[in-house]
A and B are shown apart, each in its own frame.
Chain A
């Protein structure tokens, strides 16, 4: 009895220590990545790097200003295309499509699309936009990123609108407000915090996507030349530099990684911190 209990105690301690080790490994991977990127990136980061165009192949120096602007354009356009569609469809599901076949199908399609690899989404944007237009373009990249954002925004909007208490909806209806106004001007604003957070998270994910951009927005060493031309983006420039044979480009890849990571993590972290609701706001 006693020895068996001691053995159980030992198993307990061992297994719990193992789980702690797992958590430590997971956490240290993150810290390791952050620290290493900061260390390698910071030494190459400079004002010139952020404000200059890339140097011609073979020359050292140059910057990624066009890629930063390009990423902002491609991701911004994607947000303009994707977020309204995601919010509107999520609102539909929460307000009119809770039951019924159409609602189920839309929900299922969103879940499927959410699981589709981003490279396949890129392939779709390629077949949909690049092939008919016979050219790589910023627009096709934005379409791909928008398709990545829509399911995320859609499902979160549905969740957050669904959490708005029915009494808020009824209070608006009882004032003699038409249903669409009650939904658009009372229910939707009540859920706006969650929706905004989800949109920011989707945006930060889209900003880091590389795979679907390789054969849509394609990349470019120049300043942006409009939505219908190829455009440089930050993740893809980073990718090109990383797999290149040039030492100087590797250095720039680390700096670009630091810029990209700072942006993505800042948006992501602030969205998550902001989402935590103030006490007592939900009932």
Chain B
């Protein structure tokens, strides 16, 4: 019998390269902002563009977060997500039209209250619709991506057409509440008030999502379910219920994003959600399907890049997103922060 081989474990330090590699996605946003500054050169326009890029990114993130969570948790790819954006926008705008006294008053609290009510109504409606959607459309096709894609695309069309039946097929123009119109000047840069509000709301949502996911028990179950659903179920949690909750919450967030986007664009159409889906897909793909942080960073990158490029070279703005996606997928084929599946 021979002796055990010499074995003395050593603690190797994590090398700088590895640390950088792990932190790289987080560093991309400041790097992009810096690059934008160098390319634009004028501090005031750079600040304006950065704020509007951040605002756009935050709104895209709000809409994308639900989609990426639903995918991470249940492996469901929902092409009908865009319909909830449209439904939310139409509902929210209807509420705003019912409250002309609140939106036209020159008082910030009243205006914000009107928007909050609109958002609440939109989230309630999209939540309710998505609950039915989950039962009728999604549940029968668990496990088959092909059928999920086909069925949810069909459902997207049906929901969009139903919007046309209820609200009519024309575009609806709206104006922002009184105190959110116009811009404030800060360091020579014109910053639109509404965009600042959008950044604030987006940060709040991101913070709340992180808080729920990282600090609460339900968040723990969701994160564990993303990693290994079977194990969580074996421990006695009814993951189906959790999933329905996540699906409804994610769709309600899409509704919220829809209201925000409607006020941003100041025009809504039934097809707006379908148009947004393209940006949302790019965001969740580059973020890594299933990762909320990845979607957040991806959304900021898309928003900032689109604004910078539109300023520097308007013709390229369109392809900039595709180019970003291509570059990131070449670097990390699974997206920036892929969710590690435990099975």
Q: A and B: real partners?
A: no
A residues contacting B by CB (< 8 A) are none
B residues contacting A by CB (< 8 A) are none
